Amino acid sequence: MTVSRKRFPECPIERTIAVLSGRWKARIVWHLLSSPLRYSEIVSVVDGITERALTLALAELERDGVIQKQEQKWAVTNLGQALHASLKRMFVWGSTHAAALPLR
């Protein structure tokens, strides 16, 4: 499968959103920040993801340098590790304001 290289926007916020865009990528990275996981383990911790969606998300995250495959497991790179504080803040914000946000 070939994943095309996209051109990143000039705005740093848009650039970050481009890397984590989509329904699954932020959740995948969040789980991989705890420890490297096998493909099947990612399927089990990211509730509702299809194998096709996971395969595409992993390919895009790998292409963007956020994750890499080490032996039989996926792991965050140093670049991916740098997302930890931002994702933690997003998690806290989402938890704090959950009652005010509609489920989609």
pLDDT class for 8, splitting at 50, 70, 90?
low
Cβ-based neighbour number of residue 28 at 10 Å? 26
Cβ-based neighbour number of residue 32 at 10 Å? 24
Per residue in 53-75, pLDDT (tens digit) is: 999 999 999 999 999 999 999 99
Three-state SS at 39? helix
pLDDT of residue 37: 98
Percentages (nearest 5) of helix, strand, coil residues in the chain: 55, 10, 35
Cβ-based neighbour number of residue 3 at 10 Å? 14
The predicted model scores a pTM of: 0.86
